[in-house]
Amino acid sequence: MDKNKKQDYLIKAILFQFLFCSLIFAFFYSIKYTDNAFFKTIKQSFFDEINKSITTEEVKETFKKIENFTENEFILTDFSDELFTAEILGEGGKDIEINNEIISNVSFANYKLNYKIFSPVIDGIVSSEFGERVHPINGTLGVHKGIDIALDEGEPIYAIFDGEIIEADYDQWNGNYIKIKHDNDIISVYCHCSKLFVKKGDIIRGGEVIASVGSTGQSTGPHIHFEIRIKDVSYNPAYALKDAKDAV
């Protein structure tokens, strides 16, 4: 095929394609304005095909997340079975109501203990701080006399110092709770326990297991309400917990 014939062939092919596309366009244009119902049927069939449901297995295969990557490759991990839900952290207990008055048995002052305490629990999450808050259950404004530490039910609770158990009981606010009297007029308080392993009058050592984490009394979930009182005044436990050591 010489050069002139090639050019004629290409021109004819281009003209044919243009004519064919024009006819298709004219056909659908005429349908749209002359038979609207027929056009809508075709349109609906087209979108039904596009929007076909993807199977669960296809989603699992396609829906991946990037867990780690290097310069040249991505390591993909299937996470389609993971549940994306908000975790409810336990808190609760009774607060002192605020009525524009000075609360005599709560202090916001800093303090320092002579010895490091044992942490009352290990690897918990503080779900409610010491101080003013809106109560999570009854919605009233009050002063939280301790801190709430959320963790799994049944986890051990440890005594922070050597001392004597002065209360090991139950009430509607604190659930199962323990109060320990230590030297220098210090009292530690542990509330919402699932089980108590000590009784009133027991002498215990710092780091000894005294109870297990629960959600008894007024509580939104498993946690420990923990207080430190010095001369019957509640102080922020966070100052002491900052330097606390884990029980062995």
Q: Which CA distances in Å does 152 have to 85, 93, 155, 224, 244? A: 17, 18, 6, 10, 20
Query: What's the rounded Cα separation, in Å, for the pair 223 and 87?
Result: 13
Handedness of CA 187, 191, 196, 200 (dihedral sign): positive
pLDDT in tens, 116-175: 999 999 989 999 999 888 877 777 778 899 999 999 999 999 999 999 999 999 999 999
pTM for the structure as a whole: 0.63
Distance CA 48, CA 199 (A): 71
pLDDT of residue 84: 45
Which residue in this structure is represented by tokens 């629990």? 121
Instruction: Dump pLDDT digits (tens) for 3-59.
Output: 565 566 667 767 777 777 777 666 666 655 555 555 556 555 655 554 444 444 443
Q: What is the CB neighbour count within 10 angstroms for residue 59? A: 11
The pLDDT value given to residue 62: 41
Half-sphere exposure of 74 (CA within 13 A, CB side): 7
* b/e sequence 5-25, b meaning 16+ C-beta within 10 Å: eeeeeeeeeeeeeeeeeeeee
Classify 213 in phi/psi space as left (phi over 0), alpha (psi -120 to 50) or beta. Answer: beta
223-230 vs 233-235, strand pairing mode: antiparallel
The full set of domains in the chain, from first to last, is 3-78 (no CATH), 96-241 (2.70.70.10)
